Amino acid sequence: MATAFQKVYTQISQITKATCSLKAKGVGYDELAVINGKLAQVVKIMGEDVTLQVFEGTGGIPTNAEVVFLGKAPSLKVSEQLAGRFFNAYGNPIDGGPEIEGREVEIGGPSVNPVRRKQPSELIATGIAGIDLNNTLVSGQKIPFFADPDQPFNEVMALVALRAKADKIILGGMGMTNDDYYFFRNTFSNAGALDRIIAFMNTTEDPAVERLLVPDMALAAAEYFAVEKKEKVLVLLTDMTSYADSLSIVSNRMDQIPSKDSMPGSLYSDLAKIYEKAVQFPESVGGGSITIIAVTTLSGGDITHAVPDNTGYITEGQLFLRRDSDIGKVIVDPFRSLSRLKQLVAGKKTRKDHAQVMNAAIRLYADAANAKTKLENGFDLTDYDTRCLDFARDYADKLLAIDVNLNTEEMLDETWKLLSRYFRLEEVNIKKEFTDIYWQQQSNS
């Protein structure tokens, strides 16, 4: 592997589960090295002592291993050839195709100057009312699914990706099961979208620390297409909790003091560096965009755990999936889901009554939840309570369920229909200018 001018070191002074240390000179921070064919990265320099993090783990590395420094940080070759290809965490093809030719860019590059960004304003239509109506997505947004491992988040994500009309879909798989990897491959292939897909895969069979490279690889490719090709790029990252777990493994082996939930104290910054790559560029820079949809798996629905908690503070909202026992379907939970950018499009790119109708329906859905508690506690229900419960069932079935596929206009009309069916005008608290137009007189049954 070493070329004529590269010095080969052969004396390793220390080996831990994830790191090797040796004496070396002229080494740059973050630089890559190869130890007996295994890729490693410089994580600490103290005088002549250099500590390397070995991505695959240090098993089988002898104390006299050959170490060669590559003089560059982890990088990816970018060009149009990336489209339609599947790679591992290092950016090497795993689909049997040829190596990529192109310009080599370092991954994890600098951030966009905030004044060169544009305020996102383009709606991403998914057809799922739980998203489009209540938590509208906007291009340039970053938003995760918060879901328990048994929920169909990958299915919903694939659906969203295919309906989103993106020029490129970049999939970053971290600790993904082989089955899920094939699910994505087959879904995209069946939809005839394979030429728009680029995937960087770290499956459960691969070493855990390797997956730390996946988001940066995916986003380096995304930046190439968004900046140089001026395209609308959608990046799917699943599962970011596995990514964070790898961070904690590394920080633990580096003897760092853990903060909450054994996560490194820098977790917020580490996650922000990834998510903040989501951007909408102004026309002056080509008008491309990077939208990130991620998955953060929860343990027992606990969102106070450090990973979902820090994620929530970084991303522009979150989407919750929940099984609704009343209708026996998975719905997008209207209480805990949120899209922070929805007001940039709701009522502006959609019909004017959007925001008010959405809020009214959710408020009444909340009243239904209260009524349900009353029912469970054995109290008598009022007429209003019963109407709320009836409304909630219809609302979940016709709008919140993930198998719904409507355009926004139809969603709004459907909501008005349900509101008018179950409630009186003064119960919905909507501005008169809208109720004058959309309120449908019906007899309350």
Partner 1 sequence: MTKGTVSGVVSNMVTLRVDGPVLQGEICYIETAGDRLMAEVIKVIGQDVYVQVFESTRGLKVGSSAEFTGHMLEIQLGPGMLSKNYDGLQNDLDKMEGVFLKRGQYTEPLDAERLWDFKPLAKVGDKVRESDWLGQVEENHQPLKIMVPFQLKGEATVKIIVPEGQYKIHDVVAVLEDERGNEISVDMVQHWPVKFAMTNYAEKPRPFKLLETGVRTIDTFNPIVEGGTGFIPGPFGTGKTVLQHAISKQAEADIVIIAACGERANEVVEIFTEFPELVDPHTGRKLMERTIIIANTSNMPVAAREASVYTAMTMAEYYRSMGLRVLLMADSTSRWAQALREMSNRMEELPGPDAFPMDLGALISNFYGRAGYVKLRNGKVGSVTFLGTVSPAGGNLKEPVTENTKKVARCFYGLEQDRADKKRYPAVNPIDSYSKYLEYPEFAEYMKEHINENWIPKVLKLKTRMQRGKEIAEQINILGDDGVPVEYHVTFWKSEVIDFVILQQDAFDEVDAVTPLERQEELLDLVTTICESEGRKFETFEQVVDYYKKLINICKQMNYSEYKSEQYYDYKKQVEAYL
Distance CA 110, CA 260 (A): 28
- DSSP class of residue 80? G
- The least distance separating partner 1 from the CB of residue 34, rounded to whole angstroms, comes to 18
Distance CA 22, CA 61 (A): 13
For tokens 């590394």, the residue is: 250
> Toward partner 1, which CB reaches closer, 155 or 228?
228
What kind and span of H or E run contains 436?
helix 432-438
> Toward partner 1, which CB reaches closer, 183 or 384?
384
- The least distance separating partner 1 from the CB of residue 57, rounded to whole angstroms, comes to 22
Distance CA 238, CA 273 (A): 16
Q: Which of 271, 409, 265 is nearest to 346 (CA)?
A: 409
Contact 277, 334 (CB under 8 A): no
- The least distance separating partner 1 from the CB of residue 367, rounded to whole angstroms, comes to 9
> Toward partner 1, which CB reaches closer, 120 or 175?
120
- The least distance separating partner 1 from the CB of residue 354, rounded to whole angstroms, comes to 11
- The least distance separating partner 1 from the CB of residue 142, rounded to whole angstroms, comes to 8
228 to 84, 223, 235, 278, 289: CA distances (angstroms):
18, 8, 16, 16, 11
At a CB cut-off of 8 Å and minimum separation 6, what does 104 contact?
A: 72, 75, 76, 77, 78
Task: Write out the two tokens for 84.
Answer: 């339609």
- The least distance separating partner 1 from the CB of residue 314, rounded to whole angstroms, comes to 6
- The least distance separating partner 1 from the CB of residue 259, rounded to whole angstroms, comes to 4
> Toward partner 1, which CB reaches closer, 58 or 356?
356
List, in sequence order, every residue forming a beta bridge with 144; answer none if it has no partner. 294
> Toward partner 1, which CB reaches closer, 11 or 119?
119
Distance CA 238, CA 191 (A): 20
Q: 212: exposed, middle or buried (C-beta count within 10 Å: 0-12, 13-18, 19+)?
A: buried
> Toward partner 1, which CB reaches closer, 69 or 188?
69
- DSSP class of residue 99? P
- The least distance separating partner 1 from the CB of residue 264, rounded to whole angstroms, comes to 8
Contact 123, 345 (CB under 8 A): yes
- Relative to beta strand 142-147, strand 317-324 is parallel
Helix (H/G/I), strand (E/B), else coil: 52:
strand
- The least distance separating partner 1 from the CB of residue 192, rounded to whole angstroms, comes to 33
Alpha carbon 231 to its chain centroid, in Å, reads 19
- Relative to beta strand 197-203, strand 86-88 is parallel
Phi-psi region of 192 (alpha: psi -120 to 50; beta: other; left: phi over 0): left
- The least distance separating partner 1 from the CB of residue 396, rounded to whole angstroms, comes to 16
> Toward partner 1, which CB reaches closer, 37 or 282?
282
> Toward partner 1, which CB reaches closer, 101 or 426?
426
> Toward partner 1, which CB reaches closer, 281 or 391?
281
Distance CA 155, CA 388 (A): 31
> Toward partner 1, which CB reaches closer, 159 or 221?
221
